């Protein structure tokens, strides 16, 4: 924990939850006439939601479930996946709906701030302004959260201080509003107000940034998040209490186009306040976007999404940028803005998806506490039941929004869920159909081929990527690639296995010399946050082996300008599978496999995913037969047409 870390945490982590005062009360009241039950019951429900959901569940409990400093639902799943296979499904569901939420949050946050100008400029075209701001936001992502956090930290500190002061001024004018912190007021609103239970759908919006808070933990560190939260929560509660006090002065009237947040702002400070609010909503969007990048990069490692290029904008831990996904998110945000056009229309679509994510996190957290931390089973069960009750109530209330726009977030989440399930199951089927053979049985043939000068040399060093975790086994198609058809003769055959480990920043390797001077296997153990630049790493390992006299590489011919330690050329062979026409698949398997190979065409090619120089790569296509056709109707006829 450092002062700079606290500042960056305020800038990156709390943007989403910190801008919720812009729209939460409006979502609670909607078109109803303001009365004391709504004003005081609303702030009471908000206070206890922030206390139970954000403070207790996320800041004090869930943030402790870090995977070597990394957070997010997939990091939580990684910690407990060995205890039960079914845990994969709540993890996939939670990740899918959190990605869907990242498409809804930026538009509603930015639109809420820009629409604060409408009372001053009624004819202001808000949609083009919102689209322009979102374009700048997504374009700036390539700078990385380190630089953005240093710039955003002071702005968000100003924002939280501003909303805290404005709320405190209003509370001092009506100190009696503090009595609303008594949970009885929340109970009275939910139970006694007409349709009061459904108001929970609006109340829930005050906590929508909690899941992103957990995902962003790896960017700034747990202690920085936990300590800075208490300042953030204080300013949020003061702001909500101030809005409740302002609403008490407007009882009996509907809000109309008024916003209780901007009701706290003095007229002379309105334009600066809207400017600061706009910057804060941009930062709110940044918090969720950076958390989504973390989530997606972990999904790649877990084989839940097709690979995309990952960029590390800085040397700081926990910071990634995924260009292709960045532009997909931007396109989705643009679609939401153009479809809903106003923030009040987006409120119906907002919250439902992250509510589902929170429920799945509750299940995974319970398993983490019980299986990993060995907390008493009854205590864990009580905790799970408490949060299933709380979040289940919010979910039921949010489902009322389904026909008014909630279907959008559910549809986006279901699309991501389908993509993840198709990719995971397609990858599993492909792995299941991969046949491994004994490498030691083929060593004599490889040695003979390497020394057979009657066969043209294919490469000095021939390199294959193997998925076999055992050094004495190798894929059958690799053996067929070397020995079948035109044999590929090389001085040395190299087999590289890449093992992705849960420790994010591991960079280790081991060597198995299976046949001196002929066949070598290298196993790289890389953390899931390490960019696998295999071309560079492999060459470094080979040069080290030559220096240590573990292997001798003396090519007969050298290019002009070659150094004395020249080790010859390298040729990587990448074997791709394609779905054979010989398959006879059931409808579900056809959908899964066609979907898998369709996604594979859109994914990052293996040579780019593993950092191989394309001029050294040869790609081979091998058919994949999942279920061979057992019966083919075929009749032989004579030339004259008789059977």
Contact 178, 252 (CB under 8 A): no
Look at residue 564 and tell me whether its pLDDT is greater than 60.
no
DSSP 8-state symbol, 34: P
The H or E element containing residue 368 is: none
- Least confident span in 19-28, 124-133, 310-319, 450-459: 310-319
Look at residue 560 and tell me whether its pLDDT is greater than 60.
no
Cα 448 to Cα 199: distance, rounded to the nearest angstrom: 77
H-only helix segments in 368-440:
377-399, 406-432
- The dihedral through the CA atoms of 62, 64, 67, 71 has a sign that is positive
Give the pLDDT of residue 25. 87
Model confidence band, residue 317 (pLDDT cutoffs 50, 70, 90): low
Look at residue 103 and tell me whether its pLDDT is greater than 60.
yes
Per 3-state DSSP, the chain is made up of helix, strand and coil in percentages (nearest 5) of 60, 10, 25
Cα 538 to Cα 522: distance, rounded to the nearest angstrom: 8
Helix (H, G, I), strand (E, B) or coil at 632: coil
- Residue-wise pLDDT for 252-293, tens only, equals 877 777 778 888 888 888 888 888 888 888 877 776 787 788
* pLDDT, mean of residues 56-74: 83
With a CB cutoff of 8 Å and minimum separation 6, the contacts of 122 are: none
Comparing C-alpha atoms, which of 37, 401, 72, 21 is closest to residue 222? 72
* pLDDT, mean of residues 212-236: 83
Q: To 5 degrees, how large is the angle CA 307–CA 311–CA 315?
A: 135
Look at residue 424 and tell me whether its pLDDT is greater than 60.
yes
Give the pLDDT of residue 403. 78
* pLDDT, mean of residues 235-252: 90
Cα 295 to Cα 354: distance, rounded to the nearest angstrom: 14
Residue 166 main-chain phi, psi, to 5 deg: -60, -40
Pick the residue with more confidence: 105 or 330? Answer: 330
Look at residue 561 and tell me whether its pLDDT is greater than 60.
no
Model confidence band, residue 315 (pLDDT cutoffs 50, 70, 90): low
Pick the residue with more confidence: 311 or 496? Answer: 496
Give the pLDDT of residue 634. 76
Give the pLDDT of residue 184. 93
* pLDDT, mean of residues 595-614: 78
Give the pLDDT of residue 642. 56
Q: To 5 degrees, how large is the angle CA 624–CA 630–CA 634?
A: 110
Which strand ranges, in their side-by-side order, compose the sheet holding 617-624? 507-515, 519-527, 489-501, 457-465, 570-579, 617-624
- Least confident span in 308-312, 382-386, 450-454: 308-312
Comparing C-alpha atoms, which of 548, 131, 116 is closest to residue 333? 131
Pick the residue with more confidence: 226 or 615? Answer: 226
Pick the residue with more confidence: 183 or 567? Answer: 183
- Least confident span in 262-276, 346-360, 508-522: 346-360
Cα 73 to Cα 66: distance, rounded to the nearest angstrom: 10
- Least confident span in 163-172, 238-247, 630-639: 630-639
Look at residue 385 and tell me whether its pLDDT is greater than 90.
yes
Look at residue 34 and tell me whether its pLDDT is greater than 90.
no
Cα 260 to Cα 500: distance, rounded to the nearest angstrom: 50
Contact 146, 316 (CB under 8 A): yes
Look at residue 551 and tell me whether its pLDDT is greater than 90.
no
Contact 361, 62 (CB under 8 A): yes
Give percent of the chain above pLDDT 70: 91
- Residue-wise pLDDT for 68-89, tens only, equals 777 778 888 888 888 888 889 9
Q: Kindly write down the DSSP assignment for every residue of 584-624, as one continuous string.
A: ---HHHHHHHHHHHHHHHHSPPHHHHTT--GGGEEEEEEEE
* pLDDT, mean of residues 571-593: 78
Cα 200 to Cα 486: distance, rounded to the nearest angstrom: 69
Helix (H, G, I), strand (E, B) or coil at 104: helix
Q: Kindly write down the DSSP assignment for every residue of 116-183, as one continuous string.
A: GGTTT-TT--HHHHHHHHHHHHHHGGGG-HHHHHHHHHHHHHHHHHHHHHHHHHHHHHSGGGGGGGSH
Give the pLDDT of residue 383. 92
Give the pLDDT of residue 614. 67
Contact 42, 255 (CB under 8 A): no
Give percent of the chain above pLDDT 90: 19
Pick the residue with more confidence: 643 or 88? Answer: 88
Give the pLDDT of residue 431. 81
Pick the residue with more confidence: 217 or 107? Answer: 107
Residues facing 457 on adjacent strands: 489
Give the pLDDT of residue 534. 85
With a CB cutoff of 8 Å and minimum separation 6, the contacts of 555 are: 460, 491, 566, 567, 568, 569
Task: Indicate the average pLDDT of the chain.
Answer: 83
* pLDDT, mean of residues 450-473: 86
Comparing C-alpha atoms, which of 490, 495, 487 is closest to residue 451? 490
Secondary structure of 174-232 in HEC code, one letter for each residue:
CHHHHHHHCHHHHHHHHHHCCCHHHHHHHHHHHHCCHHHHHHCHHHHCHHHHHHHHHHH
Look at residue 467 and tell me whether its pLDDT is greater than 90.
no
Q: Kindly write down the DSSP assignment for every residue of 438-504, as one continuous string.
A: ESGGGHHHHHHHHT-TTSPEEEEEEEEE---SSTTEEEHHHHHHHHSSS--EEEEEEEEEEEEESST
Contact 368, 79 (CB under 8 A): yes
Give the pLDDT of residue 122. 80
Comparing C-alpha atoms, which of 172, 191, 194, 171 is closest to residue 183? 191
Residue 583 main-chain phi, psi, to 5 deg: -75, 150
């Amino acid at each position: 924990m450092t002062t700079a870390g606290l500042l960056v945490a305020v800038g990156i982590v709390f943007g989403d939850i910190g801008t919720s005062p812009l729209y939460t009360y409006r979502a609670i009241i909607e078109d109803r006439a303001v009365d004391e039950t709504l004003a005081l019951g609303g702030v009471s429900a908000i206070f206890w939601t922030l206390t139970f959901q954000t403070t207790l569940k996320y800041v004090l409990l869930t943030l402790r479930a870090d995977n070597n400093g990394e957070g997010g639902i997939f990091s939580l799943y990684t910690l407990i996946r060995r205890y039960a296979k079914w845990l994969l499904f709540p993890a996939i569901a939670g990740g899918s709906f959190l990605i869907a939420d990242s498409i809804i949050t930026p538009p509603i946050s930015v639109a809420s701030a820009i629409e604060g100008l409408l009372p001053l400029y009624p004819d202001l075209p808000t949609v083009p302004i919102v689209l322009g701001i979102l374009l700048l936001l997504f374009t700036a992502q390539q700078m990385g959260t380190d630089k953005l956090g240093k710039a955003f930290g002071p702005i968000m500190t100003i924002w939280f201080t501003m909303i805290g002061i404005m709320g405190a001024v209003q509370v001092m004018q009506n100190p009696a509003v503090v009595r609303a912190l008594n949970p009885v007021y929340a109970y009275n609103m939910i139970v006694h107000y007409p349709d009061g239970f459904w108001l929970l759908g609006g109340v829930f919006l005050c906590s929508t940034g909690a899941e992103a808070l957990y995902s962003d933990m790896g960017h700034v560190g747990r202690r920085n998040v936990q300590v800075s939260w208490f300042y953030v929560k204080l300013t949020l509660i003061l702001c909500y209490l101030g809005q409740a006090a302002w609403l008490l002065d407007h009882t009996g009237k509907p809000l109309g186009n008024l916003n209780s947040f901007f009701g706290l702002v003095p007229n002379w400070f309105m334009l600066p306040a809207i400017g600061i609010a706009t910057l804060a909503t941009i930062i709110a969007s940044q918090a969720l976007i950076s958390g989504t990048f973390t989530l997606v990069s972990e999904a790649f490692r877990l084989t839940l999404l097709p690979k995309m290029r990952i960029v590390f904008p800085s040397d700081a831990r926990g910071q990634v940028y995924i260009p292709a996904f960045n532009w997909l998110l931007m396109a989705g945000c643009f679609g939401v803005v153009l479809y809903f056009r106003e923030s009040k229309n987006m409120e119906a679509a907002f919250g439902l998806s992250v509510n589902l994510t929170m429920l799945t996190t509750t299940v995974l957290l319970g398993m983490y506490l019980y299986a990993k931390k060995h907390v008493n089973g009854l205590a864990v069960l009580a905790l799970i039941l408490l949060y299933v009750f709380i979040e289940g109530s919010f979910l039921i209330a949010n489902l009322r929004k389904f026909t008014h726009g909630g279907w959008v977030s559910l549809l986006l989440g279901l699309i991501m869920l389908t993509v993840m399930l198709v990719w995971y199951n397609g990858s599993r089927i492909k792995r299941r159909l991969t046949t491994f053979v004994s490498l030691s049985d083929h060593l004599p043939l490889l040695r003979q081929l390497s020394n057979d000068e009657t066969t043209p040399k294919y490469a000095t060093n021939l390199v294959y990527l193997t998925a076999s975790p055992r050094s004495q086994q190798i894929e059958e198609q690799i053996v067929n690639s070397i020995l079948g058809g035109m044999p590929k003769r090389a001085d040395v055959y190299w087999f590289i296995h890449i093992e992705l480990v849960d420790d994010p920043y591991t960079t280790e390797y081991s060597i198995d010399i299976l046949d001196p001077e002929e066949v070598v296997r290298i196993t790289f153990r890389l953390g899931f946050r390490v960019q696998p630049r295999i071309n560079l790493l492999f060459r470094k390992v080979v040069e080290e082996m030559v220096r240590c006299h573990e292997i001798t590489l003396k090519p007969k011919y050298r290019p002009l300008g070659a150094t004395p330690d020249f080790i010859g050329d390298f040729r990587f062979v990448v074997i791709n599978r394609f779905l054979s026409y010989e398959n006879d698949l059931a409808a579900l398997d056809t959908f899964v496999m066609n979907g898998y190979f369709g996604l594979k065409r859109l994914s990052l090619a293996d040579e780019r995913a593993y950092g191989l120089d394309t001029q050294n790569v040869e790609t081979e296509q091998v058919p994949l037969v999942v279920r061979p056709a057992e019966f083919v109707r075929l009749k032989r006829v004579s030339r004259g047409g008789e059977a």
